[in-house]
Amino acid sequence: MASFSNYRMFTRPRDFQRQKVYTAERRIGHGRRLESVQEMQSFVDSITSMPEFRTRFPRYPAIGVRDGRGCRRAMGFTDGYIKMPVWSRCEVIVIHEVAHVISPWDAHHGVKYCGIYLWLIYKVMGEKMYLELRESFLAHGVKFEDPIQKEAYVDPAKKALEMIMARKSARAAKVQTA
């Protein structure tokens, strides 16, 4: 008789946020429709060729796109490819699946995955779409790391204070050397 004591050790954790992410995604635009596998592959290649992408995800210099006809769901595999059924062939869903490819294998639709997904939306589709998705995530209770807020937002008052302090210390250094 086989023992199942180690079963949990090899299974992925439950995907608690999946439905929330899908619901939040349905509330935003999906971008341009991509009609063919070649068109999707060109779109994915444009993502993986971005310098920021290559710096952040060097393990994935290329991600393949396969025809997903016969599949009910779009799928992203950590082996480095995505499968896209005809219904799913639009920019946002392709980015969603690319985020699955580059996320840790156990991330599912969790906090880390959603952070990577938001980052990709920001870099590929721009700030407006990023803000739409972020607001939709917040409205639907999706938990996420917000890499854009960490990366892009600098408090103007804090920045001004730092500049003043730098000037003061430069003046103090001049006075001491004189």
Q: What pTM, to 2 d.p., does this model score?
A: 0.75
SS3 (DSSP) at 175: helix
CATH assignment at residue 141: 3.30.2010
Determine, yes or no, domain membership for 53: yes
Residue 101 lies in a domain: yes
Q: Looking at residues 60-83, what average pLDDT do you find?
A: 87
Same structural domain, 119 and 158:
no
For residues 127 and 178, state if they share a domain.
Answer: no
Question: 74 in helix, strand or coil?
Answer: coil
- Token pair for 169: 């210390």
- Is 85 within 8 Å of 72 (Cβ atoms)? yes
112 and 88 within one domain: yes
Q: Once rounded to an integer, what is the mean pLDDT over residues 118-127? A: 95
pLDDT higher than threshold 80 for residue 27: yes
In a domain, 8, yes or no: no
Work out the percent of the chain whose per-residue pLDDT is above 70.
83
Q: What is the pLDDT of residues 82-105, one digit of tens each?
A: 999 998 899 999 999 999 999 887
Give the mean model confidence (pLDDT) for residues 16-39. 92
Within-domain flag for 5? no
> What burial class does residue 88 get, using C-beta atoms within 10 Å of its C-beta: 0-12 exposed, 13-18 middle, 19+ buried?
buried
Structural domain that includes position 97: 13-145
Residue 18 lies in a domain: yes
Note whether 68 and 123 are within 8 A (CB): no
Asked if 55 and 107 sit in the same domain, the reply is: yes
